[in-house]
Amino acid sequence: GAGVSQTPSNKVTEKGKYVELRCDPISGHTALYWYRQSLGQGPEFLIYFQGTGAADDSGLPNDRFFAVRPEGSVSTLKIQRTERGDSAVYLCASSRVPGTLETQYFGPGTRLLVL
Amino acid sequence: KQEVTQIPAALSVPEGENLVLNCSFTDSAIYNLQWFRQDPGKGLTSLLLIQSSQREQTSGRLNASLDKSSGRSTLYIAASQPGDSATYLCAGFGGSQGNLIFGKGTKLSVKP
């Protein structure tokens, strides 16, 4: 595909359940970022991958959140024991290489609702 | 810690007007700055990226400027159209690796 894709587009779950959100970056992009956007707010950084490794996970709110990128392409954000406060739009972005000279391209997001 | 503020939070203008959206950041050691557009229920579309060594970037009817000394960036939209209606977000790079720090956005409505 030409752009960043994310699945599912919407996810409704119950408090306490486990969810996985998938991101498929633009082919060949080595840098991948996850952000979370709450209603009326700008996106907030969660974690950044360079290749297969998490280069910066300082934005993850707590240890219920975890992300992987085992083959350096597709990434999965995993949330354990979901809470109502986790409800938000989870956005994924990729760039050709990491760094501040590179445009980040965003996917359409996954809208997570925790009941 | 870098913080980004956008003013105004919302703006409504008649079609054809030229308009300016403002973005300010607290840390003048900003690397680069990126402007995005977000349509309701959609992801973000990159509009312009300004490197810290540049003062402005232009794309069609859009012009973005960056003044590191004052910690400000502006997005100028010429001859606005109803299709420009969206939320506009500015983001500065929070570190050398490229994670972005966003403002809350300006919601623009252009009336026909």
- Average pLDDT (A65-69) is 96
pLDDT of residue A98 exceeding 80, the answer is no
Confidence of residue A93 (pLDDT cuts 50, 70, 90): very high
Which chain A residues are Cβ-neighbours of B34 within 8 angstroms? 103-104
pLDDT of residue A53 exceeding 80, the answer is yes
- Yes or no: say if A52 and A43 are a contact pair by the CB < 8 Å rule: no
Give the tens place of pLDDT for each residue, B76-109.
999 999 999 999 999 987 665 668 899 999 999 9
The predicted structure's pLDDT at residue B36 = 95
Which chain B residues are Cβ-neighbours of A105 within 8 angstroms? 46
pLDDT of residue A74 exceeding 90, the answer is yes
pLDDT of residue B40 exceeding 90, the answer is no
In B, minimum Cα distance to A104 occurs at B46
Shortest Cα distance, chain A CAs vs residue B35, angstroms:
10
Which chain A residues are Cβ-neighbours of B104 within 8 angstroms? 40-42
Out of A41, A45, A48, closest to residue B104 by CB: A41
pLDDT of residue A110 exceeding 90, the answer is yes
The predicted structure's pLDDT at residue B92 = 87
Task: Say which residues have a Cβ less than 8 Å from residue B88's Cβ, sequence separation at least 6.
Answer: B6, B21, B35, B36, B37, B38, B47, B75, B105, B106, B108
In A, minimum Cα distance to B48 occurs at A103
The better pLDDT of the pair B31, B23 is held by B23
Average pLDDT, chain A: 93
- What's the Cα-to-Cα distance from B50 to each of A100, B9, B63, rounded to whole Å? 10, 22, 10
pLDDT of residue A103 exceeding 90, the answer is no
The predicted structure's pLDDT at residue B68 = 83
Share of chain B above pLDDT 70, in %: 93
The predicted structure's pLDDT at residue B90 = 95
Which chain A residues are Cβ-neighbours of B32 within 8 angstroms? 100-101
CA dist A98 and A7 (Å) reads: 23
pLDDT of residue A2 exceeding 90, the answer is no
pLDDT of residue B47 exceeding 80, the answer is yes
Binary contact (B100, A45; C-beta < 8 A): yes
Binary contact (A99, B45; C-beta < 8 A): no
Burial B38-73 (b: 16+ CB within 10 A, else e): beeeebbebbbbbebeeeebeeeebbbbbeeeebbb
Share of chain A above pLDDT 90, in %: 82
Share of chain B above pLDDT 90, in %: 64
Which residue is associated with the tokens 């950041």?
Answer: B25
In B, minimum Cα distance to A46 occurs at B99
